[in-house]
Chains A and B, each alone.
Chain A
Amino acid sequence: MKAAEHKKYLFEICEKIDLDLESPTCKKLKEHLAQCPDCAAYYDSLKKTIVLYRNYEVEMQGSRVTEILSRLDLEDDADAKGHLKIKLPKKPDA
């Protein structure tokens, strides 16, 4: 098939890949896919690309709450000590 004729469809496929083909804006595209095996293959592969990445999940082992909170505590402690050293005014009666 001539590439130029189909480029607009290829472009449209990419734009509408996340829409339901049943939606009214996809009517022409759906008709074209039904009679053009190349565009249909393209549609299929693009859809699969997205689905593959969507299905690629990772799970973290355990929780990092303890690490994160103790980092915050450490920083706050260091901060507090810094303030004590630098900013604590001498008591007037000292």
Chain B
Amino acid sequence: MEDDTKLIAASKAGDKKAFGQLVKKYEQLVYSFSFKICRDKNKAEEVLQETFINAYRGLNSFSGNSKFSTWLYRIVTNNCLMMHRKKSHEPVVSIEEADLFKGTDELQIPHWGETPQDVVLNKELKDVLDRAIQKLPLDYRIVFVMRDVEGLSTEEVGKTLNLSVPAVKSRLHRARLFLREELNPYFSK
């Protein structure tokens, strides 16, 4: 953090070398987060570059009250949302509670086969995971990735997305159920 503070101050003063060090430090994080939201390597690459360009131009609005990484997450999120609105022809899937717990009287929950925690994520499985999460509306996808994948706290996610804590929890809840449903046919036997 100490390092970041100095680098950020220098970058604000126009020192591009200092900014380059920030890019080096955070580019993997930004790329990986972008990919997890876009699920597309080219888009992630585009978002990565836009994010750092925006970050440099907007550095003066970074107050230092949050972590620099959290601030970058917010820029990534905005870029993903913008790109999504511009290029998206994806159908909007409604994920209502009713769809998730279908009104059957008898509940039969299939057991998932062995998916050990360190299961090898081969190409086929990655495709399954990509397809499932791509069906999730972007707002929900972002909350799921931030909270469950990147491990931000509910409060941090709320602050980054300007959402209340209950709103984050509700989206997270639905996202988790939706993804489980989507993966269910693949894993249950």
A and B: interacting chains: yes
Q: A57-B32, A58-B32 are in contact. Are A14 and B173 (CB under 8 A)?
A: yes
B133 / chain A contacts, CB cutoff of 8 Å: 53
Kindly identify which residue among B56, B103, B111, B121 contacts A44, using a CB–CB cutoff of 8 Å.
B111
Of A1, A51, A75, the residue contacting B117 (CB under 8 A) is A51
Complex CA–CA separation, A35 to B159 (angstroms): 39
- Total interface residues in chain A, CB < 8 Å: 41
Chain B residues whose C-beta falls within 8 Å of the C-beta of A10 in the assembled complex: 101
Q: Is the CB of B106 within 8 A of A69?
A: no
Indicate if the CB atoms of B32 and A67 lie closer than 8 Å: no
Inter-subunit contact A54/B149 (CB<8 Å): yes
CB-based contact A50/B148 at 8 Å: yes
Q: Check: A90 CB closer than 8 A to any chain B CB.
A: no
Q: Is the interface of B mostly helix, strand, loop or mixed?
A: helix
Q: CA of A67 to CA of B24 in the docked complex: distance in angstroms?
A: 12
Taken residue by residue from 13 to 54, chain B's Cβ proximity to chain A (1 for < 8 Å, 0 otherwise) reads as 000100110011001100110011000010011001100110
CB-CB nearest in chain A for B179: A49
What are 30 inter-chain pairs, A to B, with CB distance below 8 A? A2-B107, A3-B105, A11-B173, A15-B173, A18-B148, A38-B109, A45-B112, A45-B180, A46-B176, A46-B180, A48-B112, A49-B179, A50-B149, A52-B115, A52-B125, A53-B148, A56-B129, A57-B32, A58-B35, A59-B32, A60-B27, A60-B28, A63-B27, A64-B48, A64-B52, A65-B23, A65-B27, A68-B23, A71-B49, A73-B16
